[in-house]
Amino acid sequence: MMTDVTTQQTAHQTTTESADGEQPATPVNVEQAVHAIADRARTASRIVARANRSHKDKALEAIGEALVANQGAILRANQKDLESGRAKGTSAALLDRLSLSEERIAGLAAALENLAGLPDPVGTIDRGQTLPNGVRLRQVHVPLGVVAAIYEARPNVTVDIAGLALKSGNAVILRGGSAAAHTNAALLGIIRDALDRTGLPADAVQTVDEFGREGANVLMKARGRVDVLIPRGGHDLIQTVVSNAAVPVIETGEGNVHIFLDESADEEMAVDILLNAKTQRPSVCNTVETLLVHKDAKAAAAVLEALSGAGVRIHADARIQGILPQGVSADTASEDDWAREYMDLDIAVAMVDTVDEALEHIRTWSTGHTEAIITNNLARSEEFIAGVDSAAVIVNASTRFTDGGELGLGAEVGISTQKMHARGPMGLRELTTTKWIIQGDGQIRR
Amino acid sequence: MMTDVTTQQTAHQTTTESADGEQPATPVNVEQAVHAIADRARTASRIVARANRSHKDKALEAIGEALVANQGAILRANQKDLESGRAKGTSAALLDRLSLSEERIAGLAAALENLAGLPDPVGTIDRGQTLPNGVRLRQVHVPLGVVAAIYEARPNVTVDIAGLALKSGNAVILRGGSAAAHTNAALLGIIRDALDRTGLPADAVQTVDEFGREGANVLMKARGRVDVLIPRGGHDLIQTVVSNAAVPVIETGEGNVHIFLDESADEEMAVDILLNAKTQRPSVCNTVETLLVHKDAKAAAAVLEALSGAGVRIHADARIQGILPQGVSADTASEDDWAREYMDLDIAVAMVDTVDEALEHIRTWSTGHTEAIITNNLARSEEFIAGVDSAAVIVNASTRFTDGGELGLGAEVGISTQKMHARGPMGLRELTTTKWIIQGDGQIRR
């Protein structure tokens, strides 16, 4: 397979410039160019779909090695992005997400190595049987085809999504944040080159970055050309994609996570779980954001004291204000606090009279990610499990367990907060669909 | 549960009429009214989701009995719809789909009885394990919540979808064709009454029929209120829904189905399969529409003769015209014929040189429903299976087997031609999502 890895660049230039080379790219040209990318991705997807596991794993390892071998070029490109970021006054947190280092590149290579070690979802059989008339049925997992991803200026996502898509037999079209444009272009070139060298089509990994926002818009509308679109990033990015996409979307990552502290909760367990769920990594989606305290919860004082002692800012409703232990202070919580994902050392705390009131609060404010109960009352735990309509419901453990790695799914594409296709941590299996294979020896329907 | 089955009607009237009772319903009022219906459906869905199987089955049987007991009222309502249909010059085929009879009502009751006999998808465990730290995981099937259906003037769909939604623990909002308005209203009243009598909320089955097209539009946009929307009907209906919906949609039913007649195909088998696939029930989606003939297919003449003898009109390309057996005539096929679902005693026939050419034709024209190969060549069958990207691929059997009943799924919601969530015949399981239940005894993440 002698795919020319420079084809993509050339094709874009031809398509986006008009005959006289003077006019800027018009939406029509962008649409044609993005559709052409998607059509090449479709062709490439047919080859990747039929590549066997060892071939795909060899490509993943080759990509990892090439990233390390070319880290000088990657870091130089990254430096350009960081410099323009600094010049534009980008926040330190965003610059940190944008920045790569030798250590981070080694981490990306290690993740690809890990991915190569995971079982191949393609070809696994979901169910099967032989019918009374002798017809043999099997429902087999097959790749989705063309996966698109729209994400923010985090270059690690470029490598991450490309690896996940390849392992699951898909082609991928990427649209990263423009602030990471140089870094992403460098990564793309290395990935495509490694694919080519291992005999897989370079067009299995492409980008529409050069078309900016317009390219992203075309991608979102490319029904029939894009099989699934995965937005990865904050609330605004996800909502923009969900509202504008005409292709199927998997919504990920928003987590307004609740813990209900029941009256019978063990004090030591409650303190351990709350500290872990709030302080271990407050910036991620499975961190707890609201604590609902049963009015008779014996562990309440110890939990509030422990949180406050760990530097967590408490935003409490009036009833919680009335039971604050000595030395613990709290802001007054408003509806804003029930809705907020702080993603920081902040927690909203409200008192409830019953588990039903806790469930009602959760129904009103939850994003459907994860909710937990700490209790020693069996009936109440059952009521909570049945009453919560979220991707994960947890009894007596940290909310931080809602994670593909922790749950043994291997690599994680994201955490789906929707109900269709995938719900909760998405592994490689969720990047596949199924196909019924029906084999007979002349059977007809009677 | 003493739900007042008249609530729905009253609430609509209040909402759709303005204070002075004179102005017609405005879009704003329709939006409020439909959202109110959806919110009542959400509340009802929580109760149905927790109803155990015997309770749901009792309700399904009660609905079936009530339909038979009230058949006089149903048939009178149906008569009104048929009369206005005739007055409007509705085609005989559409009038037939619209019309009910004592026999058809008995059939609806029997289908509900059959549904009651099927296993409950709710609560089945997809996967589960105990982690090294002792945390117990299980991924359990739970109802989607609120299911909406938009369909044509076929009153049987009203009963069918209501039954499927209830059995899988969901609430449902229906929008049937306005030509069946009287019949659907009669059916709805009987269904809601039977739910009420068996202690399930009547609001688990509601309609937005009275709001016409505007109601359907609001339903399609009700993100967060409607968990899945299923369009059931012809091409135009499905495309309208798919293009306009902001809620998740499951696309069903379009079948431009192909059979590839390989050179090694057994003549008798080929004749049997083609006759069955084309003539047994030509109006359904799993009937074959295009036959692709390998240039050296020995069975070609016998197949064309048999089809023609069975009254099938053949639309052939130039090369097939050249090999027509004596006494067999054919129209000249154009691109239109490759694209068409005749749903009648018509078949398009083209000659191809290779299996690759057949696959390319299928990729260009297929709707992704079902494709079949008739062959005795193992490598070619494998190539065909791997090369076809449709919900079902069939070797040496009739395309009519792509059917929930035939594949042993029990009841069928429809045949999904999309890749997300459900692909191919959709059974009750496809009306559920999953929830991770994570139980520990104080575990935190390290």
Residue A310 in contact with partner chain B when CB distance is under 8 A: no
What is the C-alpha R_g of chain B?
25
3-state SS class at B325 = coil
- pLDDT tens-digit readout, B253-281: 789 999 999 999 999 999 999 999 999 99
Q: In this predicted structure, what is the pLDDT of residue B80?
A: 97
Q: Where are the alpha helices (DSSP H) in B296-444?
A: 300-309, 318-321, 335-339, 355-365, 378-387
Beta strands A424-426 and A414-416, pairing class: antiparallel
State the nearest Cα–Cα gap between B425 and chain A, in angstroms.
9
Task: Compute the distance between CA of residue A106 and CA of residue B4 in angstroms, rounded to an integer.
Answer: 65
The verdict on a CB contact (< 8 Å) between A439 and B137 is no
The verdict on a CB contact (< 8 Å) between B400 and A443 is no
Q: Which amino acid is at A219?
A: L
Backbone torsions φ then ψ of A149, nearest 5 degrees: -135, 135
The verdict on a CB contact (< 8 Å) between B438 and A392 is yes
Report chain B's mean pLDDT, rounded to a whole number. Answer: 92
Task: Compute the distance between CA of residue A75 and CA of residue A441 in angstroms, rounded to an integer.
Answer: 60
Task: Compute the distance between CA of residue B77 and CA of residue B187 in angstroms, rounded to an integer.
Answer: 9
Region for A22 from its dihedrals, namely left if φ exceeds 0, alpha if ψ lies in -120 to 50, beta otherwise: alpha
The verdict on a CB contact (< 8 Å) between B398 and A444 is yes
Give the mean model confidence (pLDDT) for residues B201-211.
96
Q: Which residues of chain B from 162 to 181 reach within 8 Å of chain A, CB to CB? A: none
Beta strands B146-151 and A205-207, pairing class: unpaired
Q: Which fold has domain B7-120+141-244?
A: Aldehyde Dehydrogenase; Chain A, domain 1 (3.40.605)
Place of tokens 């002798």: A134
Q: Where are the alpha helices (DSSP H) in B124-180?
A: 155-167
Q: In this predicted structure, what is the pLDDT of residue A27?
A: 62
The verdict on a CB contact (< 8 Å) between B419 and A144 is yes
Q: Which class does domain A7-244 fall in?
A: alpha beta
Reference B203, options B8, B51, B58; nearest CA is B8
The full set of domain ranges for chain B reads: 7-120+141-244, 257-401
The verdict on a CB contact (< 8 Å) between A400 and B445 is yes
Task: Compute the distance between CA of residue B278 and CA of residue B346 in angstroms, rounded to an integer.
Answer: 8
Q: In this predicted structure, what is the pLDDT of residue B27?
A: 62
Q: What percent of chain B has pLDDT over 70?
A: 94
Residue A269 in contact with partner chain B when CB distance is under 8 A: yes
Which tokens hold the place of A245? 């996409």
Is A290 in contact with A349 (CB distance < 8 Å)?
yes
Which tokens hold the place of B184? 């659907």
Task: Compute the distance between CA of residue A152 and CA of residue A442 in angstroms, rounded to an integer.
Answer: 54
Region for A343 from its dihedrals, namely left if φ exceeds 0, alpha if ψ lies in -120 to 50, beta otherwise: left
* Highest-confidence segment of A250-259, B142-151, B405-414: B142-151
CB-nearest to A397 from B266, B393, B440 is: B440
A53 vs B8 pLDDT, higher one? A53
Reference B199, options B400, B59, B307; nearest CA is B59
The verdict on a CB contact (< 8 Å) between B442 and A227 is no
pLDDT along chain A (446 residues), means of 10: 37 38 59 97 97 98 98 98 96 92 96 95 95 96 97 92 96 95 97 98 97 94 94 87 88 91 98 98 94 98 98 98 96 96 96 98 96 98 97 98 88 89 93 97 96
Q: In this predicted structure, what is the pLDDT of residue A24?
A: 47
Reference B115, options B339, B435, B431; nearest CA is B431
State the nearest Cα–Cα gap between A282 and chain B, in angstroms.
13
Is B118 in contact with B143 (CB distance < 8 Å)?
no
Identify the sign of the CA torsion B392, B397, B403, B408: negative
Q: Which residues of chain B from 114 to 143 reach within 8 Å of chain A, CB to CB? A: 129, 131, 135, 137, 139, 142
Give the residue from chain B lying closest to A387, CA to CA.
Answer: B46
Give the residue from chain A lying closest to B276, CA to CA.
Answer: A444
The verdict on a CB contact (< 8 Å) between B434 and A424 is yes
Contact partners, residue A370, CB within 8 Å, separation at least 6: A255, A257, A286, A390, A391, A392, A393, A394, A399, A402
State the nearest Cα–Cα gap between A420 and chain B, in angstroms.
6
Contact partners, residue A31, CB within 8 Å, separation at least 6: A218
State the nearest Cα–Cα gap between A442 and chain B, in angstroms.
5
Query: Is the pLDDT at B438 greater than 90, yes or no?
Result: yes
Residue B445 in contact with partner chain A when CB distance is under 8 A: yes
Which tokens hold the place of A433? 């669909």
Task: Compute the distance between CA of residue A287 and CA of residue A346 in angstroms, rounded to an integer.
Answer: 10
Estimate the crossing angle of helix B181-197 against helix B71-87, to 10 degrees.
160
CATH 3.40.50.970 fits B257-401, yes or no: no
ipTM field: 0.89
Query: Is the pLDDT at B19 greater than 60, yes or no?
Result: no
Task: Compute the distance between CA of residue B378 and CA of residue B133 in angstroms, rounded to an integer.
Answer: 48
Task: Compute the distance between CA of residue A418 and CA of residue B236 in angstroms, rounded to an integer.
Answer: 28
Beta strands A313-316 and A331-332, pairing class: parallel
Reported as type and span, the H/E element at residue A100 is: none
Residue A389 in contact with partner chain B when CB distance is under 8 A: yes
Reference A116, options A187, A188, A191, A167; nearest CA is A167
Query: Is the pLDDT at B152 greater than 60, yes or no?
Result: yes
Residue in A435, A437, A441, A446 to test binding to B, most B beta-carbons within 10 Å: A435
Task: Compute the distance between CA of residue B406 and CA of residue A133 in angstroms, rounded to an integer.
Answer: 10
Q: Where are the beta strands (DSSP E) in A94-251?
A: 125-130, 136-143, 146-151, 171-175, 205-207, 228-232
DSSP label of B117? T
User: Distance of alpha carbon A159 from its chain centroid, rounded?
Assistant: 13
CB-count burial class (<10 Å; 0-12, 13-18, 19+) for A50: middle
Q: Give whole-number Cα distances, A424 to A380, B59, B437, in Å.
A: 23, 32, 11
Query: Is the pLDDT at B392 greater than 60, yes or no?
Result: yes
Task: Compute the distance between CA of residue B422 and CA of residue B50 in angstroms, rounded to an integer.
Answer: 24
- pLDDT tens-digit readout, B323-349: 999 999 999 999 999 999 999 999 999
- pLDDT tens-digit readout, A134-179: 999 999 999 999 999 999 989 999 999 999 999 999 999 999 999 9
Task: Compute the distance between CA of residue A125 and CA of residue A138 in angstroms, rounded to an integer.
Answer: 7
Residue B272 in contact with partner chain A when CB distance is under 8 A: yes
Largest CA distance in chain B: 81
DSSP per-residue codes, A228-272: EEEEESSHHHHHHHHHH--S-B--B----EEEEE-TT--HHHHHH
Three-class HEC string of A355-373: HHHHHHHHHHHCCCCEEEE
> Which chain B residues contact residue A129 at CB under 8 A?
408
Task: Compute the distance between CA of residue A149 and CA of residue A219 in angstroms, rounded to an integer.
Answer: 9
> Which chain A residues contact residue B142 at CB under 8 A?
389
